[in-house]
Chain A
């Protein structure tokens, strides 16, 4: 039999429907791949028994012709999603061995549609990071490796990006047919680009946040990472939908996203924002961007120059708003109701010791910055001003969309994947700059898709980002498909 892990989700769905193989066979093939790829550190918990029992149940339903839209499809779940009875840690020591007595809305919808869970995926601690290096389980290794000057593949282990690094690496290494991820400043799109796969951050409110460990609630959004644009569309339909348990969940019908894959983009107006042409931007990123624009033009889209004048302020505003919300959200980790407890002579000391021991360096730093910008005397100068700047960032986009722009094309990241330990050691801001092209989208609550589009000089994948109007992910799937058809798929050579 052919290697079932090399299939796309759509191909596997077809094979299951035509009974070419069972979900149990498909699941076993992926469980074996997961086991063989432990050196990548993508999974922080493997759940083979649960996977096989879910696969058997899916096979029974498929046999009766009652299988749901994801029947028998093995998926990986970012460890930020609460899974009932299965350890969920957000990759933080402070959650210790937390076992949720409930299931997140997004994952419950995947199981409703008969998908199979292979296990929990690594991520930056509380999703705070751009390289998956802040995880308490250690870094994830990107399946891609650099080509040296002599053309041979060199051994430097590269980061998969973050925070959804485990999700991106697992999909790129064919360990699962798709994975859940979350995106607060770029945490779906940046790792998708670093791993040569597709990732979409839906419009704020499209997917329920209920049961997802909270980082910055006004920015957090769940979404899928997948091998192809079509696969991402299939997953997104199951993940989306109104949830009364999340007050910011949008009460809108869920479109058949897959139907927009392959739809004509003729006549669509695509904005090219001049502010994304940064000083010192590598030539290859510039070329990739121009190539992407050419592909869309060849497909009948019209390119228009646009201006988003407050772009450069998005990242600094983000580094006030996100830590502020994080400091508030993470106040719950106090050693009382769940997770780690470090002893102290009194309750205040117990809190302080628990949080010092439980939080990693990046989380500690962000909680402290958030505490500072919300504290008396600094609130107006920092937090209130950042929220005003956010209004201006959003208005930039609204002005463009009001002029008839359907979507905006930008690079997804300022570089390809970098080596583990190479960035952010001396200055945290160096790491933060990874999100320079993606963070604006979260600040404005818009949907954004990252699609692999080319390679850098060292043979590493690079992605393009398409930004859409609120709740118009369908256009992004149509445009993303054009890029994917033109660029082809990017598959890492197996070395692990």
Chain B
């Protein structure tokens, strides 16, 4: 399988990465190089094989559904590019 220019643009949009027109062909080539490399997986017989979900056999850990942290709003917004009164500020979303 290989991706064309339109698919490359669609993937960039899904990944929320702006791609300039002049970058598109190069990016498409690189993605196709990697896709060509992984193509060899198609020759492996995986009939009846379970996909791996956990590399070490362990039970999913659970804990009580209680608040364990909080009251640190200053720390939470300390690194924000834009914040106001402990809110993150973003461009207008709803018209």
Contacts and interface: CB of A to CB of B under 8 A. Distances in A.
A368 interface: yes
B16 A334 contact: yes
A378 B58 CA distance: 29
Interface residues of B, number: 53
A356 B21 CA distance: 13
A348 B90 CA distance: 10
A247 interface: yes
A128 to B, nearest CB: 13
Nearest to A203: B56
Nearest to B48: A388
A135 to B, nearest CB: 19
A460 to B, nearest CB: 27
Given A316-B41, A364-B17, A392-B46, A387 B51 contact: yes
Interface string A333-373: 01111111100111111111101100100001101111110
A: contact size bracket: 35 or more
A156 interface: no
Contacts of A101: 72, 75-76, 78
Nearest to A390: B52
A391 B41 contact: no
B52 A428 contact: no
A392 to B, nearest CB: 6
Contact of B18 (A316, A356, A382): A356
Interface string A183-195: 0000000000000
Contacts of B91: 344-347, 350
Contacts of A389: 41, 44, 46
Contacts, number: 164
B52 A391 contact: yes
A220 to B, nearest CB: 11
A392 B44 CA distance: 10
Given A247-B60, A367-B15, A389-B44, A445 B55 contact: yes
Contacts of B11: 368, 371-372, 375
Contacts of B56: 203-205, 248, 250, 445, 470
A368 B12 CA distance: 6
Contacts of B34: 319, 365, 369, 428-429
Contact of A352 (B18, B54, B76, B88): B18
Interface string A380-409: 011011111111101000000000000000
Given A387-B51, A388-B50, 8 more contacts: A219-B55, A244-B61, A250-B56, A341-B81, A348-B16, A371-B15, A386-B38, A427-B33
27 contacts: A99-B78, A205-B56, A244-B61, A248-B54, A313-B44, A316-B39, A316-B41, A319-B38, A320-B38, A327-B15, A336-B81, A336-B88, A337-B77, A339-B79, A344-B91, A345-B91, A346-B92, A347-B90, A348-B16, A352-B18, A365-B31, A367-B15, A369-B31, A369-B35, A387-B51, A390-B55, A445-B55
9 tightest Cβ-Cβ pairs between the two chains A and B = A445-B55, A387-B51, A338-B79, A341-B81, A101-B75, A356-B18, A352-B18, A388-B46, A371-B15
Interface of A: 98-99, 101, 203-205, 218-219, 244, 247-248, 250, 310, 312-313, 316-317, 319-320, 327, 331, 334-341, 344-353, 355-356, 359, 364-365, 367-372, 375, 378, 381-382, 384-392, 394, 427-429, 432, 443-445, 470
Interface of B: 1, 3, 7-8, 11-19, 27, 30-31, 33-35, 37-42, 44, 46, 49-56, 58, 60-61, 63, 72, 75-82, 88, 90-93
